Structures are given as structure tokens and as C-alpha cells.
Amino acid sequence: MKRADVVELFTRLRELNPHPTTELAYTTPFELLVAVVLSAQATDVGVNKATKKLYPVANTPQAILELGEEGLKKYINTIGLFNAKAKNVIALCRLLVEQHHGEVPRTREALEALPGVGRKTANVMLNTAFGEPTIAVDTHIFRVANRTGLAPGKDVRAVEDKLEKVVPAEFKRDAHHWLILHGRYVCKARKPDCPHCPIRDLCRYKHKTVE
């Protein structure tokens, strides 16, 4: 995609949503981290329902450790893969208490060393909790980047590297959320809403849907 088109694409997404953010509910970096870990292969709405009950009871690593794995499961058992996720969250809390004084670390290296935290989650934390211009490529961003021709790539890392190069600095911090929301609500996996898409004329997808 030509640079002028990239600028136009993000200018339009920004006009529609000047202050985009995550749909996960959180008030602290730790709450966001646990929500992101719980959100793998689950919906944000489902995670928010669970954390709405969990966080008033336990929203620090120490408090969740005190709940224990079984106690934690009672709050998250409506979320897919909750057994494995409970184990991960407990291990995560233990490591935060033992190595980081109960705080969420701010470096990629330390984040990726946490149980259940991969590159994508680290990018979400760096971007959304700490304000860094990272782009976490999830399934929505991967699809949008490839369909539109913005940053085509055969795997998520290739798309992330391409986005890193092509997204202009002024849009970088929010690009992550604009692209996710666009993929979630407009450029949907099975049937993209091309007729009502605000970037239709810029998009290179060959199989655009019609009314």
C-alpha cells in the first residue's frame, strides 16, 4: 500500500474513533495482564463478566495467590480453558510476588518470562498499560493487514514486523486498537462488511462483499 494511502487509512480510522482502547475492563496493569491471559480463545465480554466478580475480591498477585487455584477457578469457570488458565495465573502471581515485588514489569524481556505471557500479551501490556507504540498482532489484525494489503505476511511475526515499518509514527500507539476493532466489527472473518467499510476504496482485497 502506498504511504499516502496508509496515512489516509489511519486518518479515517482515527476520525471515527479518536481515542481507541481495549474492550477488556481493567483499572491497573495487573488487572489488564490477568484479563489478557484469560482472554486467549475467549471473548472480551466473557472475560469482563468473570473479572467483574473476581477483582473486587482479589486484584493483586498476593490476593489471588491467597485465593488459590481452586478458589480462582470458581470465578473464571465460565471462560474457555479455565483449568489451564487458573494454573497459569497462579504461577504468574507467584512469580510477580517473588521476583517483581508484586508489580507488573515494564520490559518486553521480563514480561515474556512470565508464565502464560507470549509476545502478543507482552505487546498488549507495553502498548495499553504502559503507552508504548507496540502492535500486538492477533487474529483480527493478521486478517485486516493481509486483506487490505497494509502489511501482508504469512505469519503474525511477519505482519508485526511489516506494520512496524509501514505505520507512521503519529498513528503507531493507537494502530493496534484501530485495527483490532476494525477486524472485529467491520472486516469480520467470515463475511466482511465491505459495503459499509470506511476504508473500502483503499483496501486491496479481491473478494470484497457487496450489498
Residues of this chain that interact with ligand SF4 (CB under 6 A) are: 147-148, 186-187, 192-194, 197, 199-200, 203, 205, 208
Closest to ligand SF4 by CB, 37 vs 137, is 137
- Which of the following is catalytic: 73, 85, 87, 120? 120
62 and 80 Cβ atoms separated by less than 8 Å:
no
Closest to ligand SF4 by CB, 22 vs 148, is 148
**C-alpha of 117 from chain center:** 12
Give helix then strand counts, H and E, for the chain.
10, 0
Closest to ligand SF4 by CB, 7 vs 95, is 7
Closest to ligand SF4 by CB, 116 vs 192, is 192
* Dist. CA 36–CA 158, nearest whole Å: 22
179 and 185 Cβ atoms separated by less than 8 Å:
no
Q: How far is the CB of 15 from ligand SF4 (least distance, A)?
A: 16
- Work out the burial of residue 95: count CB atoms within 10 Å of its CB; fewer than 13 is exposed, 13-18 middle, 19 or more buried: middle
24 and 32 Cβ atoms separated by less than 8 Å:
yes
* Dist. CA 175–CA 62, nearest whole Å: 34
The reply to whether 120 belongs to the active site is yes
Task: Give the gyration radius of the chain's Cα atoms.
Answer: 18
The reply to whether 161 belongs to the active site is no
93 marked as part of a ligand binding site: no
197 marked as part of a ligand binding site: yes
- Which of the following is catalytic: 73, 138, 162, 174? 138
Mapping DSSP to helix (H, G, I), strand (E, B) and coil, where does residue 17 land? coil
Q: Binding-site residues for [4Fe-4S] cluster, please?
A: 187, 194, 197, 203
Which positions are catalytic?
Answer: 120, 138
Q: Binding-site residues, please?
A: 187, 194, 197, 203
